[in-house]
Amino acid sequence: MTSLIRETRTHGLKEALLGGTGLREVGRLEGFVLRFLFAVVVWRSLEFYPAYPTAPKPVGLAAWPALWEWLGWEITRLSDPAFWAQCLTWVKVALVFYVLGFALPLALPVITVVHIAIRTLNNSQGAAHHGFQMVSLALLTQMLVVWFLAAVRGWYFVRKNGFPRWAAPGNWTWLWVYTIAIAAASYIISVCSKLDESKGQWLKNSPYVATQIVKTHRQNYYNSLDPQFIQGVQPATAPVADPATDRYRHPIPASADWLGRHPDLARLIFGAGFFLELLVILAILDRRAALLFGLGLVSLHGSIAWLMELSFPFNERIVGVFFVNAAGWLILMAKDPAWRPSRKVWLFCLLGATVLLAAHLATAASESTLAHFLDLAHHPAAIIPGLFNWPVAIKWAVVLATQTLLVASVWVSVKSVLRRPA
Amino acid sequence: MSFRALLSAPLWPRLRQHGARYLWLGLFMGVAIFVSLKTGEHYPFSHFPMYGNPNPKPVDYYFLTDVTGQPLPVVDLTGDTAPKLKKRLNTELNEWGFANGTRVKSEIPPDVRTRLTKEVLDSFVAQSKHRGTPLPARVQLWRGEIHTGPDGYHETFVMEAEN
């Protein structure tokens, strides 16, 4: 706070807020936006409350009976709605501190412990769910980095030296880049498991994923008997009852049928996702790389949701906030004229975004391939607006503005890569 | 700095400028990957094994029906998804196999499999009662198997348990 006041006196409020944001750095205002959006993601993820009264297959912290004995506590206490409401109040207060960037070494542990504990109880039922792991890991990472920074600042304070630039207040680069790093690591872990489990044959055998597409459609149907997952055709009963073969015959999803008949193209499609996950380590390089891989990962998740009816909304949201980071690009453009597109480029980007959005809205009800690609194209811009319950008109206006900004960001990124050295 | 400029810059100043940052990040990612792969399914860590071994073997899934064979909406009645039927059963089978020295599910004796499947079905029945959306008095747990062949896909079904 004092550094903000000092900088405001010397540079003015605009400079103090925008300063520090660069190709590889995250300044004060961008840090605030990242924390605010991530706080919304965390809060949304806590809305999924599984009230399991027991933990029959304990994992993680739940599998440390000595810890719980020492604490005199049970993780299943979280299934008490009154206690859970109390936990949410603590998290709410801690999130306010987190967004303000104040007392993070104390606020982050509260959020992290509650988030990990409730999902640990959920995963201690003998059925692992992987939809929330990235949020918990991001919180854990931020907590560890915050503690490290607090120790560094304490050390320099005791020695009466000024803080090094990377640990100075107002520099939020660590929050951005280490969250990207842990998210990227999650994708690389998935690649390692694929290679390990398939004994290096994953790419070769990837066309068999098509069978899994049939399975995920079946499972989605049996979740709530929604006929959209069986192409609207109700389960057929054979004229001569034979439960073993015909009783629950459903149509095969078109995507699985197509991939099953085109194994080489299936290999190409699944291979693209495989290499995207493998190379995502490069996203830590700078803002351009993060954007490029962010757009790729959002498209990957969108494609998986389309083909397999399997979505990972919280992974997408973390990628949307930290990798794609539209707000960061806007701040960079506002601060540095070198990264600011010309009016002509803005107009071109707005026109392109408008056409894409109009085409998406016009085909939203369609099940055609074109409609799915248009849905994918607007997906990165729709992640942040999707976090809020805004009226439709505001939502689509923000999507249009974000889409324009993202097209412009891609433009300046490509231009910077192609620029000749001075 | 543009990509070309970055490539043409001398190596040492480039490393000195950003090397430490990437070294720490790389180390952090390496540790995170190692810990997750070693730890396995211990929340928040996981080795993310989903769809890790595609192969031509039949793919199975599970669902619930009433006693007449009419499918039941698993999420609406139990609060958990249909995939969790399979995951919980696999956990039970794997645990039994680990304790008895076999990693191949087909080697598990049929009576043990029947008992474990029944336990899983009972756990879902209890869960539905606990959340106030009880399953019907009699429920069946079915396994569907999707087979891949030169003529496309076909499915077979086996009733695994009944309460």
User: Which pair of structure tokens corresponds to residue A402?
Assistant: 């974000």
Q: What residues in A contact B47, CB-CB < 8 Å? A: 189, 192-193
pLDDT of residue A133: 96
Chain B within 8 Å of A365 (Cβ-Cβ)? no
Mutate one of B51, B70, B84, B123 to test the A interface: name it (highest A CB count within 10 A): B51
Do B102 and B28 belong together in one domain?
A: no
pLDDT of residue A4: 74
> Cα(A201)–Cα(A60) distance, rounded to whole angstroms?
30
pLDDT of residue B157: 86
CB B61 within 8 A of CB B160: no
User: Which pair of structure tokens corresponds to residue B126?
Assistant: 């209890």
Q: By percentage, how much of chain A surpasses pLDDT 90?
A: 74
Within 8 A by CB and 6+ apart from A321, the residues are: A34, A37, A38, A41, A383, A384
Residues 299-358 of A with CB under 8 A from B: none
Residue A117 banded pLDDT, cuts 50, 70, 90: very high
Q: What residues in B contact A23, CB-CB < 8 Å? A: 1
Q: What residues in B contact A61, CB-CB < 8 Å? A: 43
Do B44 and B59 belong together in one domain?
A: no
> Cα(A241)–Cα(A246) distance, rounded to whole angstroms?
8
CB contact (8 A) between residue B61 and residue A219: yes
Which residue range is the domain that position B24 belongs to? 3-49
Do B62 and B124 belong together in one domain?
A: yes
Classify residue A283 by its DSSP letter. Answer: G
User: Which pair of structure tokens corresponds to residue A141?
Assistant: 């990472």
Of A31-40, A94-103, B129-138, the range with the lowest mean pLDDT is B129-138
CB contact (8 A) between residue B54 and residue A206: yes
pLDDT of residue A268: 95
Classify residue A265 by its DSSP letter. Answer: H
Q: Is the ipTM of this complex over 0.85?
A: yes
Nearest beta carbon to residue A59 from set B42, B152, B154: B42
CB contact (8 A) between residue A245 and residue B73: no
Buried b (16+ CB within 10 A) or exposed e, A332-366: bbebeeebebeeeebebbbeebeebbebbeebeee
Strand partners, B63: B142
CB contact (8 A) between residue B54 and residue A140: no
pLDDT of residue A294: 98
Do B110 and B143 belong together in one domain?
A: yes
**CB-defined contacts A:B, below 8 A:** 224
Do B39 and B72 belong together in one domain?
A: no
Mean pLDDT by 10 residues, chain B (163 residues): 62 72 93 95 92 93 90 93 94 92 84 94 93 92 89 85 90
Do B67 and B103 belong together in one domain?
A: yes
The 10s digit of each residue's pLDDT in A204-248 is: 999 999 999 999 999 999 999 987 777 655 555 555 555 555 455
Sign of CA dihedral B113, B119, B124, B128: positive
Do B38 and B106 belong together in one domain?
A: no
Classify residue A168 by its DSSP letter. Answer: S
Q: By percentage, how much of chain A surpasses pLDDT 70?
A: 94
Q: Please name the residue that has the structure tokens 């020295």.
A: B101
HSE, CB side, 13 Å, CA atoms: give it for residue A348.
Answer: 11
Q: What residues in A contact B36, CB-CB < 8 Å? A: 185-186, 189
The 10s digit of each residue's pLDDT in A51-84 is: 788 899 999 999 998 988 898 888 999 999 999 9
> Cα(A242)–Cα(B158) distance, rounded to whole angstroms?
11
> Cα(A341)–Cα(A346) distance, rounded to whole angstroms?
6
Q: Which amino acid makes up residue A316?
A: E
pLDDT of residue A240: 56
User: Which pair of structure tokens corresponds to residue A133?
Assistant: 């792991």
Residues 91-110 of B with CB under 8 A from A: 91-92, 95
pLDDT at A374 over 70: yes
HSE, CB side, 13 Å, CA atoms: give it for residue A225.
Answer: 12
pLDDT of residue A40: 98
Strand partners, B152: B149
pLDDT of residue A26: 95
Do B68 and B23 belong together in one domain?
A: no
Classify residue A320 by its DSSP letter. Answer: I
pLDDT of residue A1: 61
CB contact (8 A) between residue B44 and residue A60: yes
Within 8 A by CB and 6+ apart from B12, the residues are: none
pLDDT of residue B11: 65
> ∠ CA(A96), CA(A101), CA(A105), 5° rounding?
95
User: Which pair of structure tokens corresponds to residue A135?
Assistant: 């949020």
Q: What is the pTM of this model?
A: 0.92
Q: Please name the residue that has the structure tokens 């680069």.
A: A173
Cα-based torsion angle of the residue sequence B83, B86, B87, B90 in order, rounded to the nearest 10 degrees: -170
Q: For the sheet containing B139-149, what is the strand order?
A: B59-66, B139-149, B152-162
Q: Other C-beta atoms within 10 Å of A374: how many?
A: 21
User: Which pair of structure tokens corresponds to residue A154?
Assistant: 């304490």
Sign of CA dihedral B8, B13, B15, B17: negative
Do B98 and B118 belong together in one domain?
A: yes
Q: What residues in A contact B63, CB-CB < 8 Å? A: 218-219, 222, 248
Q: Please name the residue that has the structure tokens 């429920």.
A: B139
pLDDT of residue B9: 65
> Cα(A191)–Cα(A415) distance, rounded to whole angstroms?
32
CB A97 within 8 A of CB A103: yes
Give the total number of structural domains in chain B: 2
Chain B within 8 Å of A238 (Cβ-Cβ)? no
> Cα(A168)–Cα(A158) distance, rounded to whole angstroms?
15
Do B21 and B65 belong together in one domain?
A: no
> Cα(A132)–Cα(B75) distance, rounded to whole angstroms?
19
Do B44 and B66 belong together in one domain?
A: no
Q: Please name the residue that has the structure tokens 């009576």.
A: B111
pLDDT of residue B6: 62
CB contact (8 A) between residue B92 and residue A185: no
Angstrom distances, CA of residue A18 to CA of A37, A121, A170: 18, 42, 10
User: Which pair of structure tokens corresponds to residue A185?
Assistant: 């690591």
Do B23 and B64 belong together in one domain?
A: no
CB A170 within 8 A of CB A3: yes
Chain B within 8 Å of A256 (Cβ-Cβ)? yes
Classify residue B57 by its DSSP letter. Answer: S
CB contact (8 A) between residue B4 and residue A260: no
CB A256 within 8 A of CB A266: no
For residue B103, count CB atoms less than 10 angstroms from its CB and return exposed for 0-12, middle for 13-18, buried for 19 or more.
exposed
What 3-state class would DSSP assign to B10? Answer: coil
Report, as an integer, the average pLDDT of A368-394: 92
Mutate one of B46, B96, B103, B141 to test the A interface: name it (highest A CB count within 10 A): B46
Chain A within 8 Å of B56 (Cβ-Cβ)? yes
Report, as an integer, the average pLDDT of A307-326: 95
CB contact (8 A) between residue B51 and residue A209: yes
Report, as an integer, the average pLDDT of A282-306: 95
